[in-house]
Amino acid sequence: MFTSHVERPVVAPTAGGSPGPDRAAPAEQPPARSGWERLKRRLTPYGFLTPTGVLMAILMLTPIVMVIWYSLLDGVITTKNSAFVGFANYAEVLTDPVFFTAVRNTLVFTVSSVVAHFVIGLGFAMLLNTPLLSHRTKAFFRVIYVLPWLFTVAIIAVLWRLLLNPNGVVNYLLGSLGLTGGQTEWLADPSTALASVTFINIWSGYPFFMISLLAGLQGIPKDLYEAARVDGATPLQQFRNVTVPQLRPIIISMALLDFIWTTQQFALIWMTTGGGPINATEMLSTFTYKLAFSRYEFSVASASAVVVLLLSMVLAFFYVRHQKARD
């Protein structure tokens, strides 16, 4: 009679030299996914994005396409059967002298505002970041400096129209100091209207730069300043070689955004001067608005709107390009 001989499995020794437990059998591999399941898995994220995409197409893409189509027609909206005229409306816009006045005013208004926003915002941000002031003092000035950003455009426009009134506070103070000789019409005089609305826009917009730059200043490592002081750098050299390079990405991003927003400023101009007097404060936004709702030339207004859209897209391209390079 033969006895069955059962071989025991070989147990591999553990790191300490003693035999370890038997190894568990490998887990079973999940069954291969079918083509439909793989396709469903890939399309699931797009399903979540579909409602937002449809909403954006209805609220953004559709109006843009309609305006572009209107710009190629003549007498749209006001005429039952509009005729296709091609680029005739664009030629009318680009040959209108008021259009070039609006372009010039927009550039002066925008460049002056962006530069002043940066200078004032950086100055106040450095003041709020200095260790020479106590926390209570910084908190007080932080509230004071950010106040203009809390007001709506309507409140800002009404407030400054009262202040710049011939019988307003500004003329009274300047007259008391002997700086003006009478009741100056700041918003009604063609020689001062553009400077006045630019000043109002600067006053209301600098907190955007100040808050952003303050956050950037607080994020600069202190070790960089300590190393610069060890190397004998003066405060001006520290600002030029440490502060500015560290803030450069923020400065470029904020400047591009501010430039885009300021070129599209409408409410402040319309509620203070309405583009006047004598086109002294006419901007591209007010020029387009008047074409549509004062002269009822909707086709020409659509052409002007497309021109403004193209200019904005150029600025947006540089902003997106900078953001990609930054990432």
Question: Whole-prediction pTM value?
Answer: 0.82
- Report the pLDDT value the prediction gives residue 36, as an integer from 0 to 100: 83
**What pLDDT does residue 69 have?**
95
Q: In 3D, which of 198, 210, 193 has the Cα closest to residue 149?
A: 210
Is 161 buried (19+), middle (13-18) or exposed (0-12) by CB count in 10 A? middle
126 within domain boundaries: yes
Is residue 258 packed enough to be buried (19+ CB in 10 Å), middle (13-18) or exposed (0-12)?
A: buried
Is the bond leading into 277 cis (omega within 30 degrees of zero)? yes
**Is residue 172 included in any domain, yes or no?**
yes
Number of domains in the chain: 1
Residue 8, domain member (yes or no): no
Q: Looking at the domain assignment, is residue 196 inside a domain?
A: yes
85 touches 74 (CB < 8 A) = yes
| Alpha-carbon span 229 to 262, nearest angstrom | 39
Name the H helices within 71-152. 88-94, 97-129, 135-150
Quick one: CA dihedral 295, 298, 299, 303, positive or negative?
A: positive
Per-residue pLDDT tens listing for the chain (327 residues): 444 444 445 444 554 444 555 555 555 555 556 778 888 888 888 889 899 989 988 888 889 999 999 999 998 888 888 899 999 999 999 999 999 999 999 999 999 999 999 999 999 999 998 888 888 888 888 888 888 888 999 999 999 999 999 888 999 898 888 888 778 899 999 999 999 999 999 999 999 899 999 999 999 998 999 999 998 889 899 999 999 999 998 999 899 999 999 999 999 999 999 998 999 999 999 999 999 999 999 999 999 999 999 998 998 888 888 777 776
**What CA–CA distance (Å, rounded) separates 305 from 93?**
10
Cα(291)–Cα(98) distance, integer angstroms: 11
Residue 11 lies in a domain: no
In CATH, what number is assigned to the domain containing residue 135?
A: 1.10.3720.10
Measure the CA–CA gap between 302 and 90, rounded to whole angstroms: 9
Of 206, 225, 205, which is closest to residue 130 (Cα–Cα)?
A: 225
Residues forming a β-bridge with 73: 84
Mapped onto helix, strand or coil, the DSSP state of residue 65 is: helix
Residue 127 belongs to some domain of the structure: yes
Which domain range does residue 118 map to? 98-326
Query: Is 293 part of a structural domain of the chain?
Result: yes
State how far the Cα of 213 lies from the Cα of 32, in Å rounded to an integer. 54
Q: Which two tokens stand for residue 156?
A: 């800002």
Q: Is residue 163 part of a domain?
A: yes
